[in-house]
A and B are shown apart, each in its own frame.
Chain A
Amino acid sequence: MSAATAIGYNFAYLDEQSKRMIRRAILKGVAIPGYQVPFGGREMPLPHGWGTGGMQVTASVIGEADKLKVIDQGADDTTNAVSIRRFFAHTAGVETTELTAEATLIQTRHRIPERPLQADQILIYQVPIPEPLRFIEPRESETRKMHALSEYGAMQVKLYEDVARFGHIATSYDYPVMVNNRYMMDPSPIPKFDNPKMSMMPALQLFGAGFEKRIYAVPPFTQVESLDFDDHPFEVQSWEDACSICGSDHSFLDEVIIDDNGSKMFVCSDTDYCRERVTEGFVGEAPAQLETEQ
């Protein structure tokens, strides 16, 4: 089907048979939203912590016409994001981009882009621990049964413990969700700020866990609900400040130390979104020190 791009590699590194096997797992995942499909994971030439699960999914769905974006902590320029992008540029010869708007495939760790995704895009998450029930039930045989029978009371225990200890639901990443009113799902370590974006998203969402060899999916326009209590409803993070660079008051902000005196500023964690806003003419109120430096 496809010619090898770099000498000695099949297109996108994985052999065609492995890709077919992974695609079958993806199709099953799409057919049963939120259900973890076991698959015969393949070795990728990067350590597990680097998102080999996401890479195997990407390798299986990527085509020559795709444009790939890779984000890590919201940024395109971290070592991890750069290596994965280079890997696919090298082994599949595809174009890469930092622009969310241009990408057809986005592999991510930690964030969902701020710019709403479209129906012709696919978002691929790198997942470290796919089983949301693992913290309360270490036995795999038992968690499988709990999913099969929708026994999710134990999941609420995690939230109970939060409220008992902190007075509110303190879980802010990896916040458990119910997919299509049926399967409890671990959304991977994205901030709960991003949870609402998962629901009814026009883009296909695929999740790959390399170490535990699980694939799951949220098909386009599927309901994704964050767990909560009636008297402690789900809430996303919010900030007093706006982005110092683009002035955004509605994006997920990172706190950045800007000098030796410990001065701080807040900036969009999604660097592409921030840049796009600046291009459109938005400006933030950058701290005084920063302005004098520039």
Chain B
Amino acid sequence: MNNAVELLTSTSEWQDIAPLLSVRELNKFYAPGKGCGDINFDLYPGEVLGIVGESGSGKSTLLSCLSARLTPDSGQVLYNSEQFGEMDLYAGEESQRRVLMRSEWGIVHQHARDGLRMNVSAGANIGERLMAVGERHYGDIRAKAEEWLTAVEIDTGRIDDRPSQFSGGMQQRLQIARNLVTHPKLIFMDEPTGGLDVSVQAKLLDLLRNLVSRLGLSVIIVTHDLAVARLLAHRLIVMRRGAVVETGLTDQVLDDPQHPYTQLLVSSILQN
């Protein structure tokens, strides 16, 4: 799909590139079979990793653990931070994790209301992260908000409207703009196209794909939709009942699935 990245991801392991994020023996269970366990993988800079699997397989639980929002029962998440250097997320201070969340990271929630402030304007939603990192010039903040509205294809004339006046697709795009304004390098997304009409989904996916490649973002995206995974992800992790059953390059996993569960997933999508 993307030769440069494919080459990077398949060769980086024996080349001298440090992973951006490494997961070691991570476990988080609410109850037996409910959660995720025995998770190990590395994410390299510029890589888009898809986490797929049916509903209830533990994808969101894993994503929350990776993005410092849910403390695992055991295991480590190692992150190579611009500001703090190599860090073991849950061994460090909560204050550092929260700094990461509003600077080097972005989190795009499935439900826009979880990721947006619905009672303030679109401009304020985008500007908040700038103000959180110390920006104090109104004119600059507003100019950057306009710039990012344009980047996510929202008319700048809507800058003073509240997100509640936006369509579902626009709300998701606003969430993306709100995250990208501080130039994060790693984005976590949980079903970003879930609940949207098919045509709206297609437009959002197109936008995401362009932004990710233009900005050289690293992404971990959770989706139960294999079509979304195929379009965005370089590499896939397939989960079932909280465990990883298969990993590999996206095309390999989807075109030549090895595990019976992946085969079932792939064939069921073909039947739809």
Residues of A within 8 A of B (CB): 136, 145, 149, 151, 153-154, 156-157, 160-161, 163-165, 228-232
Distance in angstroms between the alpha carbons of A112 and B95 in the assembled complex? 37
Q: Which of A151, A160, A232 contacts B123 (CB 8 A)?
A: A160
User: What are the residues of chain A within 8 A of B123 when measuring CB–CB?
Assistant: 160, 164
Summarize B's interface: helix, strand, loop or mixed.
helix
**Residue contact B131 to A160, C-beta cutoff 8 Å:** yes
**Residue contact A151 to B137, C-beta cutoff 8 Å:** no
A160-B136 contact in complex given A136-B117, A136-B120, C-beta closer than 8 Å: no
Q: Is B128 an interface residue (CB 8 A)?
A: yes
**Residue contact A153 to B128, C-beta cutoff 8 Å:** yes
User: What are the residues of chain B within 8 A of A231 when measuring CB–CB?
Assistant: 137-139
**Residue contact A160 to B138, C-beta cutoff 8 Å:** yes
Q: Is B121 an interface residue (CB 8 A)?
A: yes
Residues of B within 8 A of A (CB): 94-95, 98, 102, 117, 119-121, 123-124, 127-134, 136-139, 141-142, 159-160
A-B pairs, 5 with minimum CB distance: A153-B132, A156-B131, A229-B138, A153-B131, A230-B137
**Residue contact B136 to A229, C-beta cutoff 8 Å:** yes
User: What are the residues of chain A within 8 A of B98 when measuring CB–CB?
Assistant: 145, 149, 151
Summarize A's interface: helix, strand, loop or mixed.
helix
**Residue contact B102 to A157, C-beta cutoff 8 Å:** no
Distance in angstroms between the alpha carbons of A231 and B137 in the assembled complex? 6
Residue ID in chain A nearest B102 by CB atoms: A153
Residue ID in chain B nearest A135 by CB atoms: B119
Distance in angstroms between the alpha carbons of A149 and B128 in the assembled complex? 16
Distance in angstroms between the alpha carbons of A153 and B95 in the assembled complex? 14
Distance in angstroms between the alpha carbons of A228 and B132 in the assembled complex? 14
Residue ID in chain B nearest A169 by CB atoms: B138
**Residue contact B102 to A164, C-beta cutoff 8 Å:** no
User: What are the residues of chain A within 8 A of B132 when measuring CB–CB?
Assistant: 151, 153-154
Distance in angstroms between the alpha carbons of A160 and B145 in the assembled complex? 12
CB distance from B203 to the nearest CB of A (A): 27
User: What are the residues of chain A within 8 A of B94 when measuring CB–CB?
Assistant: 149
CB distance from B145 to the nearest CB of A (A): 9
User: What are the residues of chain B within 8 A of A153 when measuring CB–CB?
Assistant: 102, 128-134
A161-B124 contact in complex given A136-B117, A153-B129, A156-B131, C-beta closer than 8 Å: yes
19 contacts between A and B (CB under 8 A): A136-B120, A149-B94, A149-B98, A151-B102, A153-B128, A153-B129, A153-B131, A153-B132, A156-B131, A156-B136, A157-B124, A160-B131, A164-B123, A164-B160, A165-B160, A228-B136, A230-B137, A230-B138, A232-B138
